Structure 1
């Protein structure tokens, strides 16, 4: 056998293998690009800045816009463009006068319900019908984020009132997870008057009506408006929003405020 011929054949095989590998990577990249292009950007409410109730030391909701982290454990919310948040403020510490930037309408509110943990969440206006699970704080006092098998579920902050009790029940969720839409991808499309239903462990359903939808820079997160004491039963839904920083983290938070109208 001619050594030079064998060498040329080996070189040809290597070249073909390299070409195939490059084409394979290019094809995968095109598939990812096509998928992300079809997803598009999530809807977002108007940006609200320079809010007098904003607090740069607030606890932020989970990171809904970055790449999927490794591991199945719950983890801390990401530092999407802001300083590390401190512990969740006590709802009892807030003054009654410190209300959200847009106050609830002057309409009758349903009577408070006894404590009962949420188990499900339905928002017909944006096609959400999902389970809810409780989530708490990490060892450093930061609010944990849905991860692993529960990443696409909504999470009720167990340090807040249960939905239907007096005070603001807080439920967070990702806008995207692993590069695809998650439970609160359409949250920013909610408008005043939209209804939110929360299934409760005791078999009852707490129905809320949206009265405010806003987007805040993470360094102006309105801590008191979200976690502070309220006169009646209210609900806060939170997700990430806005532009991405160099680490693919969202710079803003979307906050939906609603009050109990039936339970």
Structure 2
């Protein structure tokens, strides 16, 4: 026979253990809510229906212009036009061709390796995915950074709902710098002169891919609200010029 006092003590211990388990579970739940709540919306630049005009009328090489660009493996980011509002910077001599290896954007904490990416079977610009989903990619149908013309780099703003490499890209402002390291050991330094957001069905293709008077850079990601499938409705495009090498 078990003494009555011992039975009460055992019941008390079980109640205490149960209470501790509830407290632990509640604490874990609050921690998850706190962590997931720390991720806000990415910065959103001005929404436009067209981009900056290119300096020479913007004739683009058809073979170098993707029909679309991808946000996630099943969707393609698209292409829109910019509108330079400032006077052109002092021309900088272009660099010889050399593929990019990495890029740094100090103002938003980006310091990543680059890899080349091309077009899909239907002529669409492929998107980073798999092990490289959170890395930026250089479109290998565009000039290398520092050559004459617009070099194009793309990356995700989010990947399966989590912030990705260009989550803060929309926060760039005129005067911010972008450094691109190249295989030949040189660095192409670009200065941002414009940044905007465009509906994907009004992407400024000519302003992004059209010819320019000198070496320029376009950095593209997704932005704006989400559709019913969780895909962004807009593209964010940053426009920059080579300022030193």
CA offsets 1:177-203 (integer angstroms, 9 cap, x no match): 132111100000000000000000100
Aligned counterpart for 1:241 among listed residues 207, 223, 230: 223
C-alpha spacing 1:27/1:217, structure 2 compared with 1 (3 Å)? farther
Give unpaired runs (5+ residues) of structure 1. 1-23, 65-74, 89-98
Counterpart position of 1:49: 49
Counterpart position of 1:137: 119
Counterpart position of 1:261: 243
RMSD over equivalenced CA pairs, Å: 2.8
**3-state DSSP class of the match of 2:170?**
helix
Is 1:165 aligned to residue 173 of structure 2? no
- Displacement of 1:155: 0.2
C-alpha spacing 1:52/1:154, structure 2 compared with 1 (3 Å)? closer
Counterpart position of 2:203: 221
What is the rounded CA distance, in whole Å, between the counterparts of 1:216 and 1:172 in structure 2? 15
CA offsets 1:213-247 (integer angstroms, 9 cap, x no match): 00001111000000111110000000000000000
**3-state DSSP class of the match of 1:160?**
coil
Q: Is the 8 A contact 2:103 2:114 kept in 1?
A: yes
Q: Is the 8 A contact 2:70 2:76 kept in 1?
A: no
User: When the two structures are aligned, how many residues end up with a matched partner?
Assistant: 211
What is the rounded CA distance, in whole Å, between the counterparts of 1:247 and 1:171 in structure 2? 25
CA offsets 1:153-192 (integer angstroms, 9 cap, x no match): 0000000000000000000000011321111000000000
TM-score, length basis structure 1: 0.73
Aligned counterpart for 2:190 among listed residues 208, 211, 218: 208
Counterpart position of 1:62: 70
Give unpaired runs (5+ residues) of structure 2. 1-24, 54-64
TM-score, length basis structure 2: 0.78
